[in-house]
Amino acid sequence: MHASAVVVGGGLSGIAAALCLAATGWRVVLVEEAGSLALPWRSRAVGARCFDLGIRVPAESGIAWADALMFHALPATGDAPFTWNRMPGLAREGHVFNGRANLDTGCLDATVLDAATLERVRKELVQRRNQADPAERAAHFAARAEALYGPALLAAALAPACRSLLGRAPEALAWNGPQGRLPARVVVAPHAETDLLRTRGRLSERLAHPSARMLQPGPLARAYLYPRCGGTGAWVAALERQLGAHAVDVRTRARVASLRLDEDGVHGVTLGDGAVLPAELVVWTIRPDALPLPGLPAVPAATCPVGARLLLLDRQVPHDLHWAVSYDPGTPFMRVGFPDALAGIEPSSTVPVLVETRIGDAPPDDAMLLDALAGYRLVAPGTRIVGATALGEGRFAVETAEAAAARAALRQAIRHVRGLALVGPAAGGHHLVPDLVREAAMLAADLAARGSAALPAPVFA
């Protein structure tokens, strides 16, 4: 049995770290300042059903034992097992761009650009057919996108999409800033030409098929998952039971005031109420500049505020999408989710639709939202709203170039602190569930292989 570990932060990254460490033999205390865990993933009861505060759909990490902990071996509530709707193959996504809806792919469709611009896009893309992705070497997302696609696509499509979805110009975003919001591939040609282009150099990494429905998922394709009932809040409740099953000591409404630190490294934490938690390992999963250490550089927070609304409609939607994204700045919605499709529920007399909107000076009313949804064929003509509920407001994090540089400087500043691990947003600004689970699993597996006496200085997932 290892000595104790303290995991700071009760978001999904903290839960994943706590479970992965506990499963490999650590005695774990999970500390969260708020009153409950994984607040952004909670759901709200509306009538007899629960709906999410936003459109949040987890996906497997590809690491089987960690996915079992987080998704597939969750304890039941009494006689009611927790069950997922496992979306077969690729999730069915659509999108709106340049005033047109594409119900066949979630990837941005550049073929709706004017002919002259599209010709420049395709020419510049082919010129870059053997150019590698600069990834983290890029100063910002604009530099990465221009290296991959060329300036025409960046100006005509990617820059407006970044401003619409993230509220930032691509020059302000880190190289991976749009991760999870803006697809890494773009449609630039019909099927026959796309198949031809994808055989040339590295273009297969950048081109999307006009219809994702025609693609067969590969053997390593990760599944999208959504609870069959209770919304994502049911998953959070199941994760709480999983923490209990693995003897993780969860402390909510607890703030870390200081690290117990000497020349040998970290030996635990002191909480705001004076309680001392001895530990051989401290895993920090929240804002890195919240570490109670002197002289750390500040990491500027960047978020995009959104509102979540539930519309109940009087007729079925004319498609089978799980969700659709709008890349158009003028559209009154950002994303639209269809929770019955996500949960695999058969159509009923009323159809719920989740809508994420930008929070601005004049938020759209329900009639405006319905008109926009009908205009893009996301709801059937003549549909009426029979109920509407504001589910809440929230923010999703945006990785800016400024924040990424500050985080790198902070990691450099604490590089000699033994026994301190940064995971999830604290480490790299990643916010996708597969990344969080993978990082937590890699940390636990590395420590299990090394043994507790060989903690690196510091530990990084």
Predicted pLDDT of residue 25: 94
Picking from 70, 374, 399, the residue whose alpha carbon sits closest to that of residue 225 is 70
> Which run of H or E residues covers position 389?
strand 385-397
Considering the four listed CATH numbers 3.40.50.620, 3.50.50.60, 1.10.10.10, 3.30.930.10, the one that applies to the domain covering 4-83+228-299+401-460 is 3.50.50.60
Give the integer Cα–Cα distance in Å for 138 and 154.
Answer: 15
Residue appearing with tokens 């409740």: 237
**Which pTM does this prediction carry?**
0.93
Closest of 317, 373, 308 to residue 350, by C-alpha: 317
pLDDT at site 460 = 45
Both structure tokens of 181:
């919001």
Least Cα distance to 258 among 50, 15, 76, 8 occurs for 8
Q: Find, among 160, 115, 165, 117, the residue nearest to 142 by Cα.
A: 160
Going from the C-alpha of 76 to that of each of 83, 234, 235, 313, the distances in angstroms are 9, 11, 11, 33
- Residue 301 has what pLDDT? 86
Q: How far is CA 130 from CA 192, 197, 200, 206, 427, in A?
A: 21, 12, 8, 12, 31
Which residues of the chain are under the pLDDT cut of 50? 1, 460-461
Domain positions in the chain: 4-83+228-299+401-460, 107-210, 303-397
CA distance 358 to 366: 14
Fold of 303-397: Alpha-Beta Plaits (3.30.70)
How many Å apart are CA 360 and CA 268, to the nearest integer?
43
pLDDT of residue 90: 76
Q: Give CA–CA dist 38/9, Å, rounded.
A: 9
Closest among 411, 413, 461, 416 to 436, alpha carbons compared: 461
Tell me if domain 4-83+228-299+401-460 and domain 303-397 are identical in fold: no
Quick one: pLDDT at residue 319?
94
The whole-number pLDDT of residue 461 equals 39
CA-to-CA dists, residue 103 to 27, 214, 361, angstroms: 48, 13, 30
Q: What are 152-211's pLDDT values in tens digits?
A: 999 999 999 999 999 999 999 999 999 888 888 999 999 999 999 999 999 999 999 998
DSSP lists the bridge partners of residue 109 as 187
Q: Is the CB of residue 93 less than 8 Å from the CB of residue 183? A: no
CA–CA separation, 42 and 234 (whole Å): 8
Q: What pLDDT is stored for residue 80 in this prediction?
A: 77
Question: At which residue do the structure tokens 């459109």 appear?
Answer: 55
What whole-number distance in Å separates Cα of residue 159 and Cα of residue 178?
11
Could you tell me where the beta strands, DSSP code E, fall in 83-242?
84-87, 93-97, 100-102, 108-109, 186-187, 224-227
pLDDT score at 91: 84
- String of b and e for 3-13 (b: at least 16 CB within 10 Å)? ebbbbbbbbbb
Phi, psi of 64 (to 5 degrees): -60, -45
Residue 242 and residue 69 in contact, taking contact as beta carbons nearer than 8 Å: yes
The residue ranges of DSSP E strands in 66-209, in sequence order, are: 84-87, 93-97, 100-102, 108-109, 186-187
